[in-house]
Structure 1
Amino acid sequence: MRRPLITRAVGRIKIGLQSKLFLGNLQASRDWGFAGDYVEAMWLMLQQEKPDDYVVATEDSHTVEEFLAVAFGYVGLNWRDHVVIDKRYFRPAEVDNLKGDASKAKKVLGWKPRVGFEQLVKMMVDEDIELAKREKVLVDAGYMDAQQQP
């Protein structure tokens, strides 16, 4: 599984394995949601008598910059000290705002997300700090180069 780029970098920066994170458009806005909530929605869909199409989303969007502020702030760091904007990471066909309408899933399935944006970001950061700590043990023991990504 590919680790989320931002929280992976936050963990590595906090533990001292890297100092910078290179990103593109910080104003891109996304509907960030917890996979566990989406799995619950899928299970509810499977319980229906008749198959149907649903949008599963938080109906709340946040920019990459907001994500950075929560993730770095959670570990006591200022994202501006570590993030470098690099034009190479701007997407030519960038969609400015992605936000889903889950009203049908809420009405028909009785589903709603349980994990909010800040809680989700903090969960991801906690996991990636633990991963970075294990990685640092390997780096300190000489089994791995800090520049090498696990």
Structure 2
Amino acid sequence: MVRFWHVLVALASFELLWVAGSLLKSRRVNRDKAQGSSHLIAAGNVNQFKPGEVKGIPQGGFYLVCQEDGSFLALSKTCTHLGCTVPWNKEKQQFTCPCHGSTFDSTGLVMAAPATRPLDYYPLKIENGEIWVDIAVPVKRDAFASFQIGRS
């Protein structure tokens, strides 16, 4: 029984240290991004994407989502609950946080708690078929709105 408690305390300590490290890293990255007024990332050409496709853009730390109507949305990979990296689950067509189980749909809206607000998004623009995403600072939001997407 004592061994069980030692394992439980070790796991809780590890999780606490991991969360603290994630929060500190997140603040440092956001501060570094905020120092520049604009940091545009080329995410690809609109012709490279099919409706419903979600593509991770590693150099920008976001997902580019091609919505069913052909519009685009750039979503942060960071869960709004505690800052874990949220992978896209293609089979379930949702983002699922591996840390605490929050799920988000393809527009970043919360489908299941503990997260209470949608994934942050990045402004984007489409010029001559090229998708440009400004990753200077992620935009926090409480809901999905049509102005958050880009159309070609």
What TM-score do the two structures reach when normalised by structure 1?
0.22
Larger strand share, 1 or 2: 2
Q: Which has the larger radius of gyration?
A: 1
RCO comparison, higher one (Cα < 8 Å, 6+):
1
